[in-house]
Amino acid sequence: MRKSRIGILTGGGDCAGLNPAIKWVVKSALDERLMAERGKQYEVVGIKDGWKGLIDIESSIVPLDEKVVRTWDRYGGTMLGTSRTNPYNPGNDCSKTVIANIEKLELDALVTIGGDDTLSVAHKLSKEGIKIVGIPKTIDKDLCETDYTLGFETAVEVITEEIDRLRITADSHKRVFVVETMGRDAGWLALEGGESSGAFMILIPEYDFSIEKVNRLVMDARKDGTRHEIIVVAEGAKPSGGTQSICESTEDAFGHNRLGGIAEWLAAEIHRNTKIDTRSLNLSYLQRGGNPCAYDRRMGRYFGIAAIDLIAHHRYGLLVCYRNGKITSSPFENVIGRMNRVNVDTQYDVDRYNGRHTIIGKEMHSGKPE
């Protein structure tokens, strides 16, 4: 009996959690007991460097089995490599080549691990009849329909650890430190990284900040006797009336500019206005590096298993999701073209420029469900 061949690729920015997901796609697909139960035999091939590996298939295919992937869940990044290649790039549409290569490689199903860009390609291919399922990953946590995207918790750990270090030097020198996090147009990394590290102020793209108010909050804190302040700012945050800081104006294949530089700008502004010694640090790619934390290993495992469950049940065009404590799935069309951003009304304190300071609503105090 011919085995069904499953291809797997990782696309977009790398992060921790990809390798655990790959490992568990492979382990779950090749599990002897499950294969007997399903009455179906699978083989799995890795596709190197994201969609690029399906445009040029010469030397981009790696057979995967339990022995190959055995230790992968301990490591960050992606053993398969990644790219920001967009087969549907209007300036260079290679989608027909991708479809032809999927046939040539006799791939019966494809698992794509990615964020909104990678999954938008999966969605288009799915509409063209390719059997695809997706696994959500992005440190930005900006995908809809899922409460978790791989890489996020590890990135929050990095932010927390680095800020713990920064506090020591900030306090010795009585300095303000402005720390920039990634996240594009979503403030989750800044918000949850800032909350985890007990930041004095958190600035997010969902709410434009007033520079006068930032200065005032810093001055007020100093009057109260603080020796240092940590201000976490998302790369996509901007002052009211201003624009996002762009560090590279050339757009990538999905039309994104590279954001960066807001922390440096803000630190200079705070120093200019308050005369307090202020420094900035952009945590940048450190947030995507390092080995996956325990949560990313577990979620990678569950997402990988769920992707094979979907394939085994012939359910395609779906993204594996985590919703209200359960692993589930959602059609690509519910995910693509939307963005999960911080809800300023319920998750942000606009007065303190920080995380919320009340959590339980009136309805819950009175015992009624929200």
Task: Say which of 73, 140, 185, 296 is annotated catalytic.
Answer: 140
Rounded distance between C-alpha atoms, residue 233 and residue 101, angstroms: 43
The set of long-range contacts for 353-356, using a CB threshold of 8 Å and a minimum separation of 24, is 353/201, 353/202, 353/203, 353/209, 353/213, 353/214, 353/217, 354/194, 354/199, 354/200, 354/201, 354/202, 355/191, 355/194, 355/195, 355/202
**In the set 16, 107, 201, 259, which binds ligand F6P (CB under 6 A)?**
259
> In the bound complex, what is the minimum distance in angstroms from residue 357's beta carbon to ligand F6P?
27
Give which of 211, 279, 206, 210 is closest to 237, Cα–Cα. Answer: 206
293 binds ligand F6P (CB under 6 A): no
The contacts of residue 19 (CB under 8 Å, 6+ apart) are 69, 72, 73, 74, 75, 76, 77, 78, 79, 292, 300
Q: Does 204 bind ligand F6P (CB under 6 A)?
A: no
Paired tokens of 359: 């959590």
Find the shortest distance in angstroms from Cβ 334 to ligand F6P. 20
State the nearest-atom distance from the C-beta of 142 to ligand F6P, in Å.
8
Closest approach of ligand F6P to the CB of residue 84, in Å: 6
For the segment 85-124, give every residue that binds ligand F6P (CB under 6 A): 115
Contact 4, 43 (CB under 8 A): yes
Binding mask 219-258 for ligand F6P (x = CB under 6 A): ----------------x----------------------x
Give the number of residues in contact with ligand F6P, rule: CB under 6 A: 13
**Contacts of 151 by beta carbon, 8 Å cutoff, 6+ apart:** 15, 16, 17, 18, 137, 138, 139, 288, 292, 296
Interface pattern 123-162 for ligand F6P (x via CB under 6 A): ---------------xxx----------------------
CB of 11 to ligand F6P, least distance (A): 11
State yes or no: is 140 an active-site residue.
yes
If binding is defined by CB under 6 A, does position 11 make contact with ligand F6P? no
Give the residue with the Cβ less far from ligand F6P, 222 or 258: 258
N-term to C-term CA, the chain: 54
Can you tell me which of 7, 13, 50, 239 binds ligand F6P, judged by CB under 6 A?
Answer: 13
Least CB distance to ligand F6P at residue 285 (A): 7
Judged by CB, which is closer to ligand F6P: 234, or 311? 234
Q: Which is nearer to ligand F6P, 64 or 79 (CB)?
A: 79
Residues of this chain that bind ligand F6P (CB under 6 A) = 13, 84, 115, 138-140, 182-184, 235, 258-259, 288
